[in-house]
Structure 1
């Protein structure tokens, strides 16, 4: 008899759960799962929440049959959304939830996201308390999370104590966070062919880094090559199936010998008999050099990036690549117009912490969820086709059907002209309200300038930098347009800081500070890093010129300043990232003294261009780091096309610069520098027209940026020949 649901007055589904009682000592109940029943995980009269489909053996046997055999109440929510699961847990006062890793990962992410929205102080306090709770749990076995996080846990009901997990491997970090919050996490391992449990972590002897101990009656052994740390797991016992129906070939390969089933999983047994599964044999990736890689291990590391909602790794043409689903909410909080660049930088930063064979050599961005089974396992056989289509540019989501509300909204007098303009502007692409300007239409920081200028010229609308940072879809763009028209006083027309604030001459106090900073830079660069300067005579005496160095480290501006004379330095402006160089009173004072201009090409590319053009009308030189970030590998990375617009708007010549040694002295992964020789190599000045003729790309700006990047990278050869 299935559960039935009807809404209460608030519109929430009211549960009337199944409540079937069995004598737990009957033969049928004992045969279901002796391990679960004998451990008394759930008792007669208590409730278990099962938000999983019953056509899988894991929820059917471990969830439904075992709980009913215990005389417990089985609770099935009215749906699988977060609110529905929370409502069911509270309303039925469940003691146990039986779920899959995806559910528990979502619970942890939801809790941490809610805390983060309360502010940095609340997040810091939560992180410290959680770390303390986890340490006490791991070190002394004390479980104080129930007290520390009582109010937070109340959202899941006042009786919930056990979180059972199966279907796939639960990330160890997630498991410990749940334990730190005061719940008990119990996991096991098995297959459909084993009915399904083979091993289980007993409540008082659980080891979260393992799949547990064999249940009574089950024997395990590992078939491994000599000296290998792991091998294929074989199982024997009364719960093992007899074979596949009418398929003798499959049966021959499924059993190593009569009664011993080949699970197809790889692992090992520790000295205490606990099973550790390291991966699936048929999902193991074998790299060209013979190294073997378990995709789940690599996916876990990259999935920790806050801007990634899902990631899957696979082999394409013998190289390790990834399929990435961005997290729109996390990206919106960051407030960037360069979504793809943000993801690339985060992926490269994570790759720098991994072993070389675990680093992705490429990836494709998709917006649809990755294909999974009902229990959350990736359907890996479908990934190569998805990756191929995404890399071929077919990553746009299918246009969702327009609702009646959407149609009425788009017909509004303030929205329709903008929507019609967008349809005409992107007539060669099928756009919808869910289309992403950054991911589907390829709008980068330079194109945001063009797009927002057109909005102003055609409709008199100017979007603020905060508004641009919130736009991740055409719907968001139209919402920001409507908001700006409705509340113009909250969205000032000015999109950049007043240039005169940063371009007017600094007072004598700042001049003295600048001289002190310069002296310290020279001493620091010459003594600690043995600075060497090559071909400085190529720099023109007059301007306007834009110095365009590669960017490896926070040391780059220091050694570059030390390579210039004091007079040259006072005639030079620097483009500095506003979120670092103007984040506090000390950095603002240093920036003011050093002629640093606040730019943020992510949130306000128009302001960056305005300041750059204004600066070169006052002084001869501007330092602009075209990569827009520090290189994660020490190699010269892609130049953003914004440098092309700066050169064209100002008529300035570019002077390529190559800085070597700073990556080794202070890479992104270090907090403090170490001594290492540093060299600054200057190149010959070149115009935007000359760069456009040499470069590669689909448009003039891309060609200018690519040619300038090559000119900078070629200077490395000059450095090597004179080393």
Structure 2
């Protein structure tokens, strides 16, 4: 049976003064619990509270305080514009906005409460029921206004325990990362994971190669953009050779970056797969094989299947298990539309499963499955091929309408000293000829979100 979410936080025996370091501010677990208790006392009974989720100790105190009080926490990106911020505040039903003293908060439709990590109060009430909501996390809103994803305490606890098992994550570890604290990766895994396992946490503020190298961790989290910056700084990369595990997620890790990390640090990174709605569901294990382009096998309790057209090996990844969300807030039709008739969650991601159970994510069904000349082609395979060219720094591939082929393959690249035909010919030598791009567009940079994922819908017309 899964233990309550905050059990290990309250068990603060053997505490150390730098159990958590966020933005240069150190807290012991006892200090965190006292400061969070003060927050819990102020917000108890609220229907939900928003958190100005900057990379600060105030954010951690606010979130833990909400969890203690049993009030759903609603992280708000600190750089969100007025329209996005107000939508999240109103849609979530948040009664308050928790923020640090230094946070600059424009006029908002709810009361702002300042969080002080030095404040202390004892909180002795029982932990809320496992099925109650821990978070309402808002999606990126690529298809309309962002939707609130309701995640239960039970789902968070089950996921963190499964990851601790897969990654051999214990209280002996020091976790290092510099990821945003308003997403699953940085907040749920990167903060609550450390609190639940008892490991030390160092949040570097900005995820720079130098900051990662200086942190002296045993376990590192990063997105592909971070790992790419690390390998561009060989001295910093080599400083990570003493780490036990390098974990990459939130987007596919390009094969060249995978190989450079192995060359510079002496170890292959672990890749994993998940969504806001499902948390992390598939991962390479610390004691297992680590293959470039593969996200490993399902975590304990997770079942997966591929819904593919007859004769095809590639199809939509569907899954079921204890880490799934409770639904979109106040959107029952959107929630029901995410499930098949027999109750499996439709991820919208295209994947293949190898005979030994290893999963490869090809891309999003809406943007990354290209149907060209009767072939079904995954954009991710072509992107990795392009990134193998020494002149290519970034790559994104889409399917564009074509009168004869249905769709033609168009590549957007950031590259130096190479021509369109050079890249078309290069891909044709690496993959089947029908997978070569028909057009190549050169850009200064790919549009990306806060987690480093390329935003293909923001690419210029082909």
Q: State whether TM-score is above 0.5.
A: yes
3-state SS, counterpart of residue 183 of structure 1: coil
2:207 touches 2:226 (CA, 8 Å); kept in 1?
no
**Corresponding residue number in structure 1 for 2:216:** 93
**Corresponding residue number in structure 1 for 2:439:** 362
**Structure-to-structure mapping, 1:503-652, within 5 angstroms:** none
**Structure-to-structure mapping, 1:275-674, within 5 angstroms:** 275-318=359-402, 319-327=408-416, 342-344=418-420, 346-353=422-429, 354-367=431-444, 369-383=445-459, 386-387=460-461
**Corresponding residue number in structure 1 for 2:137:** none
Instruction: Report deviation, 1:98.
Output: 0.2
CA gap 1:30/1:243 in 2 versus in 1, 3 angstroms: closer
Instruction: Report deviation, 1:197.
Output: 1.0
Instruction: Report deviation, 1:53.
Output: 0.4
Q: Which segments of 5 or more consecutive residues in structure 2 lack a partner in the other structure?
A: 1-18, 34-126, 131-152, 403-407
Structure 1 distance, partners of 2:22, 2:309, is 54
**Corresponding residue number in structure 2 for 1:82:** 209
CA gap 1:197/1:351 in 2 versus in 1, 3 angstroms: closer
Q: Does 1:219 align with 2:318?
A: no
Q: Aligned to 2:164, which of 27, 33, 37?
A: 37
**Corresponding residue number in structure 1 for 2:29:** 20
What is the TM-score of this pair, normalised by structure 1?
A: 0.40
Q: Does 1:251 align with 2:378?
A: no
CA gap 1:173/1:243 in 2 versus in 1, 3 angstroms: same
Q: Which has the higher contact order (CA 8 A, sep 6+)?
A: 2
CA gap 1:365/1:225 in 2 versus in 1, 3 angstroms: closer
More strand by share: 2
What is the TM-score of this pair, normalised by structure 2?
A: 0.61
Q: Does 1:57 align with 2:184?
A: yes
Instruction: Report deviation, 1:18.
Output: 4.7
3-state SS, counterpart of residue 33 of structure 1: helix
Q: Aligned to 2:231, which of 108, 113, 121?
A: 108
CA gap 1:42/1:156 in 2 versus in 1, 3 angstroms: farther
Instruction: Report deviation, 1:66.
Output: 0.8
Structure 1 distance, partners of 2:174, 2:202, is 7
Structure 2 distance, partners of 1:275, 1:163, is 19
Larger-gyration structure (1/2):
1
Instruction: Report deviation, 1:191.
Output: 1.0
CA gap 1:252/1:203 in 2 versus in 1, 3 angstroms: same
Structure 2 distance, partners of 1:40, 1:313, is 32
2:221 touches 2:246 (CA, 8 Å); kept in 1?
yes
Structure 2 distance, partners of 1:154, 1:360, is 33
Q: Does 1:232 align with 2:309?
A: no
**Corresponding residue number in structure 2 for 1:419:** none
Structure 1 distance, partners of 2:331, 2:160, is 28
1:186 touches 1:201 (CA, 8 Å); kept in 2?
yes
2:370 touches 2:379 (CA, 8 Å); kept in 1?
no
Instruction: Report deviation, 1:284.
Output: 3.1
**Corresponding residue number in structure 1 for 2:281:** 198
**Corresponding residue number in structure 2 for 1:507:** none
CA gap 1:154/1:264 in 2 versus in 1, 3 angstroms: closer
Instruction: Report deviation, 1:237.
Output: 1.4
Structure 2 distance, partners of 1:31, 1:173, is 33
